[in-house]
Amino acid sequence: MTSLIKVWELPGGIHPPQHKSQSLQLPLGEIPLPPFLVIPLNQHMGTPARAIVQVGERVLAGQLIGIADGTFSANTHASTSGTVLAIESRAIPHPSGMSSESVIIEPDGKHEWVQLTPCEDYLQLDRLQLLDKIRAAGVAGLGGAGFPTAVKLAPKSTQVIDTLILNGAECEPYITADDMLMQTQAQELVAGTLLLSHILHHPKNLLIGIEDNKPTAIAAVKAAVAGAKALRSEAANIQVVVIPTKYPSGGAKQLTQILTGREIPSGHHSADVGVICVNVATAAAAWRAVRFGEPLISRITTVVGEALTTQRNINVLLGTPIDYVLEQHGFNLKQASRVVMGGPMMGFTLLDLAAPVIKTTNCILAPSTQELPEPQPAQACIRCGMCAEVCPASLLPQQLFWYAQAEDFDRLESHNLFDCIECGACSYVCPSTIPLVQYYRAAKGTIRLHEIEKEKSDRSRQRFEFRQQRIAKEEAEKEAKRLARQKAAEEAKKKLAEKAAEAAKNPATATDVITAAVIKVGATQASSEEEKAKLERLLNAAKNGLEFAQKTLVPNKTNPVITEEQLVKQQARIKQAEQKVAEAEKKLAEFVANNSVTSSIEPGTTAAPAAGAPAVDPSDPVAAAIARAQAKLTMSPEDKARANLESLRSRLAKAEEKVAAAKADGSPNLDALQQGAEKLQQKITEALAELKALGIKDEPVVAAAPVTAEPASAEQNAAQAAIEKAKAKAAAMASMSDEEKRAEQIQSLQNRLTKARERLAKAETENDANIDAFRAGVTKLEEKLQELA
């Protein structure tokens, strides 16, 4: 039977000392329940499971405590009955020595099982149901990689599986866990093989590969196969293949090559060449999961090393702390050089012994210092080429070493670094004791990180570009909206102009004008009140701001220490707030003053020309406006001109008053105000000229001026007094002789001219855009002056 299959030779490989006998002296043992179990949620390759139990909850043995998070993950179960003490981050067996989310269970000692659903005859079940059962039991590769078995057993439809290999090679020194399993659970292994064969649609070849250093196991498995034949005819297909002992023939790719002669292409899986390779312990666990519905909560682990008094294989609950296991086997810390999880070739040193036994813990090695001394310091590579000779993947370890040292990742990849199985054969034979595998592992890690970074940077680029596009789009939309608004405004203006033109064609009736005036006055009144309220609000807000700014100086909870920088900032803020308050106060005061002026003056100024109109109450602005409008209607052009002059004079008076106030305050608006006053003066002269043209002397107007002042003088108001003074001045000016007037005009023109020149010079030095306008203004003024002179 076994002779039927040809055994190919593995390229490379080494023959390190076996060290397998010491752990096989004693039968498979058990250890008592530990005081607590630490069950990590990621004992497998892939995404960690999600905890579904609460702290304080009582759980039973085999109860689901962590549910697989996605397909590439595995369920996690409670290993015994007890109480969940905590769900927290605990040390896990990992070369980094990092911690991971774990469920901590305090056993109650009863080891009560949950209700299991056994299955007498799995042939009755659908293949998917069988896979579900295996998945539900949380079976993951027990050989060391921890690959979720249900995923492995569901190859892609393109992959035709013709060979199922049960991996019982167990080539690494010290480890005898699979050996012990084959010795004690050979029937389960054979049943598991048949089960997997059924799931994989009965591949042609069913091979159980065992190294020839395990005669007991070989005999046991052969006996089991023979026994199974009586029950199931398919068992006759199972071939137990004895292979020569050589490290690392237990690697999945290596065993595939030994048993089938097929080399798995770089970057492919064994399923791509029609082979599925499953560890013997995994097959047995899958069988138990289907037959008894039993989840994976324990495994056989080799506890070995000269630092222990007892060396044997034990069936241990997953989650048992490793230090507890060691303690049960008489661990002598002083003697031990370190504690390794896995074998001496591929295992890693445990940094924290509190880490628990997990699904992939096939061996706990506690060697003495003599047994596994510290590695020798690395010497220079002497290019002996022994590493290349022993490499089972036919790589060039030396080249990889140079490139890893030089961090030349492109070359590493072109030399197929990722086909390295990290078996450590090259490091083992290296006469310069260079830790080659560590270089490869580091390089692989860096390349993986670079790939992750590259992916991230590509995503970043996409996001950034998308954002740019979005912003551009938003801008374009805004621009389009703005243009639309502009267009609408222009159209509205056009319509308004058309309306106005129409209105000019059909002269307005008296009543129209009056109502318009009424509305206007009402609006100004209302708006002035609103304005006042607004200003008051502004003042209040400014005051509040000041208060707030002062308040924040005090240290508070979130900011117990005030730095100097903050202090400076605060002070600046206070200053700003103070300025705002001052501004608001000023505005309000100005507004109040102006308002009282306008409301008190208007009735007065309009009362006189409207003498012919029905008597009106001068305090009522509405009535006054009506009167004014009526007066305007009835006025002759002469009267109109006079009224115009009148109003201009009153405005001038106001303006001059403002100028005086501004001068007193040293306001920055002084210039503007003065300009305004000058403009008014100019208008007055124009009005006078108009009157003259109408053939009327200025005298009556001059006489009218004091009249206009009369009603106003009745007011008992300080502001009023100032206005009166200004008005008187205006009146006096109006009464001046022509010559005097001219002199005055020349004076003012000269003033303006000098000012305009100054402005022009300033604009020239600053290269202002309005320089042309200024120049035109200066020439005009000069011309005017010449005219007058």
Partner 1 sequence: MIEFIFQNPILSALIALGGLSALFGAVLGFAAVKFKVEGDPIVEQIDALLPQTQCGQCGHPGCRPYAQAIANGEAINKCPPGGQATINALADLLDVEAPSLDSEHGEHLDVKRVAFIREDECIGCTKCIQACPMDAILGAAKHMHTVIADECTGCDLCVEPCPVDCIDMIPVETDLKTWKWDLPATNQKPVFHVIAQEVPVIPLETNVIATDLGRGSALNSDKPDGEKAA
Omega of the bond leading into 248 within 30 degrees of 0 (cis): yes
Q: Closest CB to partner 1 among 236 and 406?
A: 406
Does 406 participate in binding partner 1 (rule CB under 8 A)?
Answer: yes
Distances 730 to 519, 609, 650 between C-alpha atoms, Å: 31, 18, 8
Distances 20 to 312, 328, 329 between C-alpha atoms, Å: 10, 20, 17
Q: Where are the alpha helices (DSSP H) in 234-337?
A: 252-260, 280-291, 322-328
Q: How far is the CB of 450 from partner 1 (least distance, A)?
A: 9
* Exposed/middle/buried for residue 638 (C-beta within 10 Å: 0-12, 13-18, 19+): middle
Q: Closest CB to partner 1 among 74 and 200?
A: 74
Helix, strand, or coil (residue 215): helix
Of positions 6, 15, 110, 467, contacts partner 1 by CB under 8 A: 467
Q: How far is the CB of 454 from partner 1 (least distance, A)?
A: 9
Q: Closest CB to partner 1 among 369 and 399?
A: 399
Does 569 participate in binding partner 1 (rule CB under 8 A)?
Answer: no
Sole window of 95-103, 182-190, 624-632, 767-775 interacting with partner 1 (rule: CB under 8 A): 95-103
Give how many residues touch partner 1 by CB under 8 A. 45
Sole window of 231-239, 271-279, 317-325, 379-387 interacting with partner 1 (rule: CB under 8 A): 379-387
Helix, strand, or coil (residue 44): coil
Sole window of 333-341, 404-412, 489-497, 700-708 interacting with partner 1 (rule: CB under 8 A): 404-412
Q: How far is the CB of 320 from partner 1 (least distance, A)?
A: 21
- Closest by Cα among 698, 89, 12 to 388: 12
Of positions 27, 464, 544, 571, contacts partner 1 by CB under 8 A: 464
Sole window of 206-214, 395-403, 711-719, 747-755 interacting with partner 1 (rule: CB under 8 A): 395-403
Q: Closest CB to partner 1 among 458 and 583?
A: 458
Does 551 participate in binding partner 1 (rule CB under 8 A)?
Answer: no
Q: How far is the CB of 457 from partner 1 (least distance, A)?
A: 4
Does 498 participate in binding partner 1 (rule CB under 8 A)?
Answer: no
Q: Closest CB to partner 1 among 463 and 575?
A: 463
Tokens of 723: 């206005």
Please state, in angstroms and rounded to a whole number, the distance separating the CA atoms of residues 649 and 608: 14
Q: How far is the CB of 88 from partner 1 (least distance, A)?
A: 16
Q: Closest CB to partner 1 among 405 and 669?
A: 405
Using the structure block, give the residue that is written with the tokens 């570009």.
465
Please state, in angstroms and rounded to a whole number, the distance separating the CA atoms of residues 252 and 266: 14
Does 8 participate in binding partner 1 (rule CB under 8 A)?
Answer: no
Distances 638 to 634, 689, 753, 767 between C-alpha atoms, Å: 11, 12, 33, 48
Of positions 381, 662, 719, 728, contacts partner 1 by CB under 8 A: 381
* Exposed/middle/buried for residue 741 (C-beta within 10 Å: 0-12, 13-18, 19+): middle
Please state, in angstroms and rounded to a whole number, the distance separating the CA atoms of residues 676 and 781: 16
Sole window of 31-39, 93-101, 254-262, 732-740 interacting with partner 1 (rule: CB under 8 A): 93-101
Please state, in angstroms and rounded to a whole number, the distance separating the CA atoms of residues 11 and 213: 20
- Closest by Cα among 289, 319, 362 to 135: 289
Of positions 21, 117, 468, 754, contacts partner 1 by CB under 8 A: 468
- Closest by Cα among 28, 31, 49, 41 to 107: 31
Q: How far is the CB of 375 from partner 1 (least distance, A)?
A: 9
20-53 burial, b at 16+ Cβ within 10 Å, e below that, comes to: bebbbeeeebebebbebbbbbbbbbbbbbbebeb
Q: How many CA atoms lie within 13 A of 154 on its CB side?
A: 15
Consecutive H or E run containing 390: helix 386-390
Q: How far is the CB of 69 from partner 1 (least distance, A)?
A: 14
Q: Closest CB to partner 1 among 467 and 551?
A: 467
Contact map string, positions 96 to 115, toward partner 1, x by CB under 8 A: x-x-x---------------
Does 232 participate in binding partner 1 (rule CB under 8 A)?
Answer: no
Q: Closest CB to partner 1 among 449 and 541?
A: 449
Sole window of 371-379, 633-641, 654-662, 684-692 interacting with partner 1 (rule: CB under 8 A): 371-379
Q: How far is the CB of 448 from partner 1 (least distance, A)?
A: 7
Using the structure block, give the residue that is written with the tokens 């993951």.
140
Q: Closest CB to partner 1 among 94 and 649?
A: 94
Q: Closest CB to partner 1 among 96 and 115?
A: 96
Q: How far is the CB of 466 from partner 1 (least distance, A)?
A: 8
Of positions 124, 157, 370, 558, contacts partner 1 by CB under 8 A: 558
Of positions 23, 42, 63, 301, contacts partner 1 by CB under 8 A: 42
Does 174 participate in binding partner 1 (rule CB under 8 A)?
Answer: no
Residues ≥6 apart with Cβ < 8 Å to 215: none
Q: How far is the CB of 488 from partner 1 (least distance, A)?
A: 29
Does 702 participate in binding partner 1 (rule CB under 8 A)?
Answer: no
Contacts to partner 1 from residues 423-462, by CB under 8 A: 434-435, 438-439, 441-446, 448-449, 452-453, 456-461
Does 377 participate in binding partner 1 (rule CB under 8 A)?
Answer: yes
Does 404 participate in binding partner 1 (rule CB under 8 A)?
Answer: yes
Distances 487 to 475, 481, 492, 494 between C-alpha atoms, Å: 18, 10, 9, 11
- Closest by Cα among 123, 139, 66, 135 to 100: 66
Sole window of 114-122, 465-473, 722-730, 731-739 interacting with partner 1 (rule: CB under 8 A): 465-473
Q: Closest CB to partner 1 among 455 and 477?
A: 455
Distances 389 to 248, 265, 546 between C-alpha atoms, Å: 14, 20, 84
Q: How far is the CB of 477 from partner 1 (least distance, A)?
A: 17
Q: How far is the CB of 496 from partner 1 (least distance, A)?
A: 38
* Exposed/middle/buried for residue 401 (C-beta within 10 Å: 0-12, 13-18, 19+): buried
Q: Closest CB to partner 1 among 449 and 483?
A: 449
Q: How far is the CB of 588 from partner 1 (least distance, A)?
A: 30
Q: Closest CB to partner 1 among 565 and 738?
A: 565
Q: How many residues does the chain have?
A: 789
Please state, in angstroms and rounded to a whole number, the distance separating the CA atoms of residues 322 and 355: 6
Please state, in angstroms and rounded to a whole number, the distance separating the CA atoms of residues 298 and 300: 7
Of positions 20, 90, 94, 299, contacts partner 1 by CB under 8 A: 94
Q: Closest CB to partner 1 among 467 and 537?
A: 467
- Closest by Cα among 171, 176, 169, 185 to 21: 176
Does 345 participate in binding partner 1 (rule CB under 8 A)?
Answer: no
- Closest by Cα among 202, 239, 243, 204 to 222: 239
The CA dihedral of 65, 66, 68, 72, to the nearest 10 degrees, is -130
Phi, psi dihedral angles at 52 (to 5 degrees): -125, 15
The CA dihedral of 349, 353, 357, 358, to the nearest 10 degrees, is -60
- Closest by Cα among 212, 264, 248, 243 to 12: 248
Q: How far is the CB of 347 from partner 1 (least distance, A)?
A: 14
Q: How far is the CB of 563 from partner 1 (least distance, A)?
A: 11
Helix, strand, or coil (residue 262): coil
Does 89 participate in binding partner 1 (rule CB under 8 A)?
Answer: no
Q: How far is the CB of 400 from partner 1 (least distance, A)?
A: 11
Binding site for partner 1 (CB under 8 A): 42, 94-96, 98, 100, 377-381, 399, 402-406, 411, 434-435, 438-439, 441-446, 448-449, 452-453, 456-461, 463-468, 558
